[in-house]
């Protein structure tokens, strides 16, 4: 069973359904967004994820979790953004084989702790593909006219690695470049520091941190140095998942 942030339990969210891939687009050379039409639509909360299951002709199955990148809406469609990992069983298949018109088995939306209902101040800190659920939150803040509630800090290696590069920039977003920065950037390239985080902390935010386990731990340490109480920090780690 899945418990929503409101505390309601939905058995229906556990049912598998065959989503149709309606569009595939490149976000970066190693990340693609898949737009899926759900036969049994459910409005998600920003930050929630779906489990995707692939089944081989011999019955072998592989399941992985993917956060919803799109804002909650009534369209019956969701977007998942997937990073292609070297030798990644599921992510390579999605990148190399899946095309519009295909069907993918999914189950969700799932997750209550790492979810933002859109009505409280939120500081979002993401690295790499960890920006995906945070993008749903940013989009939700913009869609509902509450962008004042959201601050997004993204750590990206180079401009080519930045997800949602056309849409992400705005007064409520900051990008920290760790290896190569666009021309004109004044901050020296390098990992996230307390100086990047401190100006964004207001004291009344819930902080959502998402990325690899290493990124999540480093970002959490920096947030604590900036004075954020550990109880205000919610972390989602994109490690190997079932
Ligand atoms: C709640 C949740 C939400 C997630 N949302 C997203 C998302 O929105 N977009 C996305 O791209 N991924 C997301 N992930 C990660 C995703 O579930 C898979 O772990 C990832 O796609 C790798 O699966 P794979 O089958 O391609 O690789 P595997 O065949 O499982 O692994 C291949 C190799 O990569 C390593 N590896 C596995 N996963 C990762 C990882 N995430 N980072 C680095 N190395 C890894 C393995 O140890 C192995 O060496 C999420 C994970 C969780 C738990």
pTM of the model: 0.94
**Residue 110 near residue 50 (C-beta atoms within 8 A):** yes
Instruction: Report the length, in residues, of the chain.
Output: 242
Distance 184 CA to ligand 1 centre (A): 34
| Degrees to nearest 5, angle at CA 64 with 159 and 122 | 55
- For ligand 1, whether the C-beta of 195 sits within 6 Å is no
Distance 239 CA to ligand 1 centre (A): 5
Q: Report the topology of domain 122-237.
A: Rossmann fold (3.40.50)
The pLDDT profile of the chain, 242 residues, written as one tens digit per residue, is: 444 444 344 555 579 999 999 999 999 999 999 999 999 999 999 999 999 999 999 999 999 999 999 999 989 999 999 999 999 999 999 999 999 999 999 999 999 999 999 999 999 999 999 999 999 999 999 999 999 999 999 999 999 999 999 999 999 999 999 999 999 999 999 999 999 999 999 999 999 999 999 999 999 999 999 999 999 999 999 986 53
Nearest Cα residue to atom 48 of ligand 1: 88
**CATH 3.40.50.80 location in the chain:** 122-237
Q: How far apart are CA 38 and CA 155, in angstroms?
A: 32
**For residue 20, what are its two tokens?**
């149709």
87: left (phi over 0), alpha (psi -120 to 50) or beta: left
Element spanning 47, H or E: none
Q: What pLDDT score was predicted for residue 239?
A: 80
Residue 2, number of CB atoms within 10 A of its CB: 17
- For ligand 1, whether the C-beta of 87 sits within 6 Å is yes
Q: Report the topology of domain 2-110.
A: Elongation Factor Tu (Ef-tu); domain 3 (2.40.30)
- For ligand 1, whether the C-beta of 49 sits within 6 Å is yes
Q: How far apart are CA 8 and CA 64, in angstroms?
A: 24
Ligand 1: which of 2, 36, 61, 65 to mutate, judged by most atoms within 8 Å of the beta carbon?
65
**CATH 2.40.30.10 location in the chain:** 2-110
**Residue 43 near residue 74 (C-beta atoms within 8 A):** yes
């Amino acid at each position: 069973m899945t418990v929503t942030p409101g505390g309601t339990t939905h058995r229906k969210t556990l049912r598998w359904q065959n989503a149709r891939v309606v569009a595939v687009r490149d976000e970066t050379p190693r990340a693609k967004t898949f737009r899926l039409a759900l036969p049994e639509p459910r409005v998600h909360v920003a930050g929630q994820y779906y489990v995707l299951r692939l089944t081989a002709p011999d019955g072998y199955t592989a399941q992985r979790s993917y956060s919803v990148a799109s804002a909650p809406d009534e369209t019956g469609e969701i977007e998942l953004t997937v990073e292609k990992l070297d030798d990644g069983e599921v992510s390579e298949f999605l990148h190399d084989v899946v095309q519009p018109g295909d069907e993918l088995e999914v189950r969700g939306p799932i997750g209550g702790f790492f979810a933002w209902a859109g009505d409280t101040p939120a500081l979002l800190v993401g690295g790499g593909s960890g920006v995906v659920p945070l993008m749903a939150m940013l989009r939700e803040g913009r869609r509902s006219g509450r962008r004042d509630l959201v601050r997004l800090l993204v750590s990206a290696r180079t401009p080519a690695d930045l997800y949602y590069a056309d849409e992400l920039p705005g007064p409520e977003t900051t990008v920290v470049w760790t290896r190569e920065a666009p021309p004109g950037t004044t901050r020296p390239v390098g990992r996230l520091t307390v100086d990047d985080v401190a100006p964004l902390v207001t004291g009344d935010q819930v902080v959502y941190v998402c990325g690899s386990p290493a990124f999540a731990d480093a970002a959490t340490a920096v947030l604590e140095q900036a004075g954020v109480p550990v109880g205000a920090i919610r972390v989602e780690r994109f490690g190997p998942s079932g």
